[in-house]
Amino acid sequence: MGLNLRHHIVSAYDRELTKLRGLVLDMGERVIDQTQTAVSALLNGNVNTARTVLEREPRIDDLNIEADEEIFSLIARRQPTAIDLRLVLALSKIVNELERGGDKAERIARAVIRLLDAGGLPIAPPILDSLRQLDSIACCMLERSLDATAAADIDRAVTIFESETQLYQLTATLRTQLLAPDTGLTPAQFAELISISFGLERIGNHGANIAEQVIYIVRGDDIRYRNRELLIDALRHSTGSRSEDAQPLSPC
């Protein structure tokens, strides 16, 4: 009877952890979709598409609340072991990163709506192309961080750190384009596009922050303030970070 009860308790605990992971991944996928939808609205000049982002934002808030409640319940009722507590605390931080990412996607959508409603000269194709590239890498970093979370995969996390340089380079390129004297942008257009560029950069940053939590889950190391180049090298050469037969993943 005692063993059966213990098995029941452990199984229930595992189900709750699985539910929490599912909430986190669902939340993350929605943030990615919101970001891509907002940028697509700008690229295609469709203000109604941007408005759908605002309509769907409350669902991310609901998932955030549900995940927080699940975390509090797990800690209060299950009293997890040190290793499991590490996982739960890391997932709590990941939820926070995703909530902030959702806020960025909403702000991008609002900026797109203001841009499209105001009219003005069309945005130059090179600027739109840079926005498309920045959106692509930011969402790739966030998506890969979710994959790394789901698989507790250090190698995937490392590729996110390796992608940060390109994220910053693309952001710098876009801002240089926006500052050029011949863009024809109005001050309002310039301000909104700068805001969008900051939002996309921060979404990529949230992906990198989630990758840091993956390292914490797997190794128990808090790497938030470690030098990135030294960290990447150490993780690449650490035992067990990738099997010898596995093909290395490329950065985003």
Alpha helices in 119-227 (DSSP H): 125-151, 154-179, 187-219
* pLDDT higher at 243 or 37: 37
Q: 29-68 burial string, b = 16+ CB within 10 Å, else e?
A: ebbbebbbbbbbbbeeeebebbeebeebbeebeebbebbe
pTM for the predicted model, two decimal places = 0.90
CA-based nearest residue to 156, from 201, 206, 211, 93: 211
What pLDDT score does 78 carry? 77
Tell me the longest C-alpha to C-alpha distance in the chain: 79
Q: Where are the domains of the chain?
A: 2-237
Per residue in 102-138, pLDDT tens?
A: 999 999 999 999 999 988 778 999 999 999 999 999 9
Per residue in 86-108, pLDDT tens?
A: 999 999 999 999 999 999 999 99
**Residue 205 has which token pair?**
């940053």
Query: What is the CATH number assigned to the segment(s) 2-237?
Result: 1.20.58.220
Task: Compute the distance between CA of residue 96 and CA of residue 218 in angstroms, rounded to an integer.
Answer: 19
Q: Which DSSP symbol is given to 21?
A: H
